[in-house]
């Protein structure tokens, strides 16, 4: 599974186009609004806190061997640096506990 962003550089608060590609025969559910933003600090990835962020409970489906594109927004108060996005996915139709995956984008730069 891959997660790609549409650019390698963004401004704080920018819209980001995410493209998820799956190469398996399984269907996965995800919510692009619920993505996680991480910042690289001293060689380690740390989550960016987004207090007050609200997302609907909508589930998007990613069919087997398919590609799906969605948009999200970066937090408006990001400092300059290297970031990446993570999207959690849950395999549909699997018996509990459901298989969970995390798609991770390549790092990108944020600068004013």
- Would you tell me how many other CB atoms lie within 10 Å of the CB of residue 23? 9
Domain containing residue 28: 2-110
Contacts (Cβ under 8 Å, ≥6 apart) of 86: 3, 35, 36, 38, 102, 103, 104, 105
Start-to-end CA distance of the chain, whole Å, equals 31
Helix, strand, coil shares, percent, the chain, to 5: 5, 50, 50
Segment 6-27, tens digit of pLDDT? 999 999 999 999 999 999 999 9
Give the model confidence (pLDDT) of 48-76 as tens digits: 999 989 998 899 999 999 999 999 999 99
- Choose among 64, 3, 70, 76: nearest CA to 32: 70
More confident residue, 93 or 31: 31
CATH number for 74: 2.60.40
Indicate the pTM of the whole model.
0.92
Q: Which of 28, 91, 32, 37 is nearest to 56 (CA)?
A: 32
- Report how far residue 34's alpha carbon sits from residue 55's, in angstroms, rounded to the nearest whole number: 6
Domain count for the chain, please give it. Answer: 1
């Amino acid at each position: 599974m891959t997660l790609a962003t549409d650019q390698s550089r963004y401004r704080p608060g920018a819209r980001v186009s995410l493209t998820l590609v799956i190469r398996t025969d399984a269907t996965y559910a995800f919510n692009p609004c619920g993505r996680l933003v991480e910042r690289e600090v001293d060689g380690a990835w740390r989550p960016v806190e987004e207090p007050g962020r609200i997302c609907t409970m909508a589930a998007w489906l990613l069919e087997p061997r398919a590609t799906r594109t969605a948009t999200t927004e970066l937090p408006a108060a990001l400092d300059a640096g290297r970031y990446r996005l993570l999207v959690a996915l849950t395999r549909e139709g699997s018996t509990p506990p459901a298989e969970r995956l995390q798609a991770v984008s390549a790092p990108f730069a944020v600068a004013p």
